Amino acid sequence: MRIATWNVNSVTARLPRLLSWLSSAEPDVVCLQELKCDEAAFPSREVGELGYDVACNGGGRWNGVAVLSRVGLGDITTGLADEPGFEGETQRRAIGVTCAGVRLWSVYVPNGREVGHPHYTYKLRWLEALHATVLAERDPGRPFAVLGDFNIAPTDDDVWDITAFAGSTHVTDPERKALTMLAEAGLTDLVPRALKYERPYTYWDYRQLAFPKNRGMRIDLVYANAAFADAVTDAYVDREARKGKGASDHAPVVVDLDISAR
């Protein structure tokens, strides 16, 4: 079973690339983030022609998450337990599904903008709600994972130069503490190690030739319980999907599982 997560940075702008990637990589399940479209505008027909069912939590503007599956979709949950809002709006940032017995959440964690900004406070509150949702859904016997754009680099080694991020979001202690809370809830950070690259970054800014210079960050993460992690046979960052004109600024993270071995 092949499961992937990808911040597509607008599913409509990236649709040709998404369809091409689905055809070549052949994932069974894909968690998408930053759709930038509402549910009615999601290209369900186009991905459906490739055999994928769609669960979508989209509201337009800058957010939105979805799960594509060709192995079934069940137990669909939109939003976290007691999910906080920002400026009076509950943003579309999380969706949970069950695919072939595997429970998955596609999440798009708030960016935080700047340390001390109200959006940073919102980010930390949102992560608390994610932690509560993970605790509520814990089941050691069922493979379970939270996948998506966490907008947090777990360690200093997960950014190209930690000194370039001094005083910035994505690397602060409170944000990383939220990831530690997920670990304390029984989830493990599955670190994909692409064979050719020492540091498997998943995001590179569009500016200042960040991708060619490999000035990236690992912020697209997979946090999984033991039942999921023990079934992993391979994992990688698909850097090829980040190359060329019209690419998302994120690359897909792909995880292969052998569920039958459990």
Q: Among all chains, which residue has been given the structure tokens 């490999």?
A: 214
Q: Catalytic positions, please?
A: 108, 149, 250
- Write out residues in the chain with pLDDT < 50, as ranges: none
For 40-68, the DSSP string reads GGS-HHHHHTTT-EEEEE-BSTT--EEEE
**Collapsed DSSP state (helix, strand, coil) of residue 157:** helix
| pLDDT tens profile 160-170 | 999 999 999 99
| pLDDT tens profile 191-218 | 876 656 778 999 999 999 999 999 999 9
Per-residue pLDDT, 83:
96
**How far from 187 is each of 26, 111, 161, 184, 222, CA to CA, in Å?**
26, 22, 27, 7, 9
Q: Which residues of 166-203 are buried (b: 16+ CB within 10 A; e: fewer)?
A: eeebbbbeebbebbebbeebbbbbbebebeeeeebbbb
Q: Which residues of 129-149 are buried (b: 16+ CB within 10 A; e: fewer)?
A: bbbbbbeebeeeeebbbbbbb
Query: pTM of the prediction?
Result: 0.96
Domain ranges of the chain: 2-261
Per-residue pLDDT, 196:
67
What are the backbone dihedrals phi and psi of residue 140, each rounded to the nearest 5 degrees, phi first? -55, -25
Q: What does the alpha-carbon distance between residue 215 and residue 243 come to, in Å, rounded to a whole number?
A: 14
CATH number of 2-261: 3.60.10.10
Which residues are part of a known binding site? Answer: 7, 34, 149, 151, 249-250
Per-residue pLDDT, 163:
96
Which residues are part of a known binding site for Mg(2+)? Answer: 7, 34, 149, 151, 249-250
